[in-house]
Structure 1
Amino acid sequence: MSMSFDPADHPHRRRNLLSGEWVLVSPHRAKRPWQGEEAPPPAPRGARHDASCYLCPGNLRMNGERNPDYTGPFVFANDFAALLPDTPSPDDDPLFPAAGARGEARVICYSPDHTRTLPELSDAERRVLVDAWAAQSAELGARWAHVEVFENKGAMMGCSSPHPHGQVWASDFIPQHVAREDETQRAWHAARGAVLLDEVAAAEEGGPRLVEANDHWLAIVPWWAAWPFETLIIARDPVLRLEDLSDASRDALAVLLGRLMARYDNLFATSFPYSFGWHGAPHGGDGVGWRLHAHVYPPLLRSATVRKFMVGFEMLGETQRDLTPEQAAERLRAASPILERQI
């Protein structure tokens, strides 16, 4: 007997237009019982200033430098930088290829308050942070091929300090995920004469995967989402990089980020862990086909303590998810965009 396809119940694959990779969607698996690992709940909040924190104002860092008594975003060179500006290149070998990697890495403390995460900042405070991101992208992009602005939030995502902060890595090479997005967006533009993410944004307007939107931005659970509650933040304006954003767009971004991140925290009544970062056109290139966007990759699946594991078939075959993107977006929309309480 033939059956009509139901995307909410039948296994199927979806293609990621930015990476070219496929995602296996198995919505019926969301019904299975869970007897696997449950992570411990996040530690209780501490004081607004932690004397043992290397990132709090006035405290001594591991390299012997003392933080200033900063009152807004504080940027400094990472004491344990993954990239250095002047390092020798390895010998190349056709069997064991290697290449040099140079660059800089910096830390951005969001606030002097040890406890206030992105959704807990005011719109004005988030706007100042957006300006800091843009300034870092412009400065470092003047001498490096690519600038990656990102945040790892929460111990579950490997964050080494609970003080709310992000990072900026600038490199003399284009990282492979960005290089792949450059290829796909250029190819789309060449084939259709249009910007890929413009078409995605237009198609998602008012649709089942839309989570947040304003005049300058929209946030969706993308058609191809890999992580359970993954979102993609797309600039509506024709901008290539963070430094290209207008004042109005920066204001609107500060508001949208507050609302989106509050929905995450309200979803499971926890300070939601994630990796969040910006993809802009590589510096020095023409940016054909590009549109500034950000990815949010949160690991939580069922609750504040049950996460998605990328193992087994995901590592050996291809990415697989249980919850459909439409179901994830519906749940995020149902969560309040106003932070309900300090978590």
Structure 2
Amino acid sequence: MNFDENPHRRYNPLTESWVLVSPHRAKRPWQGQVEKLANDERPAHDPECYLCAGNTRANGEVNPNYEQVYVFDNDFAALLKDTPDEKYEDGELFLAKTEKGVGRVICFSPAHNLTVPEMSEEGIRAVVDAWVAEYNVLGAKDFINYVQIFENKGFVMGCSNPHPHGQIWAQSGIPDEPLKKQNAQAKYWAKHNRSLLADYLEKELEKKERVLFENEHFVALVPFWAVWPFEAMLIPKRKMARISEMTSEERDALANAYKRLTVKYDNLFETSFPYSAGIHQAPTDGLPHEEWHWHFVFYPPLLRSATVKKFMVGYEMLANPQRDISAEKSAAILRDLSEVHYKSI
């Protein structure tokens, strides 16, 4: 099969779904929407930013003069911990139930003008430590069964504030995407008594064609089943169900890989590269979940340039995810990029 010429479908064993790959379409002229480049010139401290140190937030609370990472309850959380337990059923077709949860915001740095690829590895390590601490504290609550850690970067991804930050939504139910991955990994574990991602990673390291880089503890790669143009994953080499199992050295290695990947992203089109990224890991429902192998996924939308975005519309919404560039091609492009940020050259 010629992956770079022939339309084909690829299977995602983590979600038990398919993606249509149409590599020949990458040659077509673009006459669609062109995004406007956001002004990336920002001060180190913005007096109007509700995430900057010392500023007042919308609810009237004042941020402390934090010097590294600052975590607080989301002022406009999508989930609330005091939601009453209620259920609605009207036959088999009308079902609803209330959902309890907690929303947290993590300011990665007091510097308003930074993003992850421009932060130091020491600064990113502090973010990793905050993730672990929040996962442990939130996951210990009796009404929380899943903790979703994520970052939206860039206005193109709907990020309303450019200050470097991420979010945590912890809730009583297990969301659809991690639940799909849990079910697929559980089936594989029951069949082989091995981790699906550990076996997948072993094969990818043999093939090398989709691996971007690796350090002592993590591998960055474009997954075989990637949907977004320059989608990537960070996978720990050691099988772990949750981020709280990382050693200090592994936390350092995650910070290193997080920075290296996002620097490559910025260098691709020499712009502050937008993406949604998040950690998928075991639920906090008290079960061991030996099937889980946690991982960090990155879904960036830019396709051909800093101003051309991949839209999930039409066929993608109605039928099947689809992409115009093979995973091997996008991996080769990312792999060849410098790991020195373009602003530093």
TM-score higher than 0.5: yes
Letter in 2 for 1:122: S
Aligned counterparts of 2:90 and 2:338: Cα–Cα separation in 1: 55
Alignment counterpart, residue 339 of structure 1, candidates 323, 335, 341 = 341
Q: Which residue of 2 aligns with 1:190?
A: 190
Alignment counterpart, residue 294 of structure 2, candidates 292, 298, 313 = 292
Q: Which residue of 2 aligns with 1:96?
A: 94
1:97 is paired with a residue of what secondary structure? strand
Aligned counterparts of 1:216 and 1:93: Cα–Cα separation in 2: 50
1:18 is paired with a residue of what secondary structure? coil
Q: Cα deviations across residues 148-197 of structure 1 (Å, max 9, x unaligned)? A: 11000000000011101000110011001111110000001111221000
Aligned counterparts of 1:209 and 1:332: Cα–Cα separation in 2: 10
Q: Cα deviations across residues 294-318 of structure 1 (Å, max 9, x unaligned)? A: 1100000000000101011101110
Letter in 2 for 1:262: V
1:335 is paired with a residue of what secondary structure? coil
Of stretches 25-34 and 209-218 in structure 1, the one that deviates more from structure 2 is 209-218
Aligned counterparts of 1:58 and 1:83: Cα–Cα separation in 2: 26
Letter in 1 for 2:53: P
Q: Report the Cα offset of residue 243 of structure 1.
A: 1.1
Aligned counterparts of 2:342 and 2:258: Cα–Cα separation in 1: 16
Q: Which residue of 2 aligns with 1:279?
A: 280
Aligned counterparts of 2:87 and 2:239: Cα–Cα separation in 1: 40
1:134 is paired with a residue of what secondary structure? helix
Q: Report the Cα offset of residue 238 of structure 1.
A: 2.2
Letter in 2 for 1:237: R
Q: Which residue of 2 aligns with 1:35?
A: 31
Aligned counterparts of 1:6 and 1:119: Cα–Cα separation in 2: 35
Q: Report the Cα offset of residue 92 of structure 1.
A: 2.4
Letter in 1 for 2:16: G
Q: Which residue of 2 aligns with 1:119?
A: 117
Identical residues among aligned pairs (%)? 48
Aligned counterparts of 1:220 and 1:194: Cα–Cα separation in 2: 21
Letter in 1 for 2:323: R
The reply on whether 1:201 has 2:201 as its aligned counterpart is yes
Q: Cα deviations across residues 60-108 of structure 1 (Å, max 9, x unaligned)? A: 1000001000001100000000000011224222321111100100000
2:267 is paired with a residue of what secondary structure? helix
Q: Which runs of structure 2 are paired with 1:122-161 in the superposition (5 Å)?
A: 122-143=120-141, 144-161=144-161
Asked if the contact 2:88/2:94 (under 8 Å) is kept, the reply is: no
Alignment counterpart, residue 46 of structure 2, candidates 21, 35, 50 = 50
2:166 is paired with a residue of what secondary structure? strand
Q: Which residue of 1 aligns with 2:310?
A: 308
Q: Report the Cα offset of residue 337 of structure 1.
A: 1.4
Unaligned runs of 5+ in 2: none
- Number of residues paired by the alignment? 339
Q: Cα deviations across residues 19-78 of structure 1 (Å, max 9, x unaligned)? A: 111000000000000011000012131110001000000101000001000001100000
Aligned counterparts of 1:86 and 1:93: Cα–Cα separation in 2: 25
Aligned counterparts of 1:342 and 1:248: Cα–Cα separation in 2: 27
Letter in 2 for 1:77: D
Unaligned runs of 5+ in 1: none
Aligned counterparts of 2:53 and 2:316: Cα–Cα separation in 1: 42
User: For the structure 1 residues 226 and 112, does the alpha-carbon distance in structure 2 shift closer, same or farther, using more than 3 Å as the test?
Assistant: same
Aligned counterparts of 2:87 and 2:35: Cα–Cα separation in 1: 41
Aligned counterparts of 1:134 and 1:111: Cα–Cα separation in 2: 17
Q: Which residue of 2 aligns with 1:255?
A: 256
Q: Which residue of 1 aligns with 2:218?
A: 217
1:106 is paired with a residue of what secondary structure? strand
Which 4+ residue blocks in structure 1 deviate beyond 3 angstroms? none
CA RMSD of aligned residues (A): 1.1
Q: Report the Cα offset of residue 342 of structure 1.
A: 6.2
Letter in 1 for 2:336: A
More strand by share: 2
Of stretches 231-240 and 182-191 in structure 1, the one that deviates more from structure 2 is 231-240
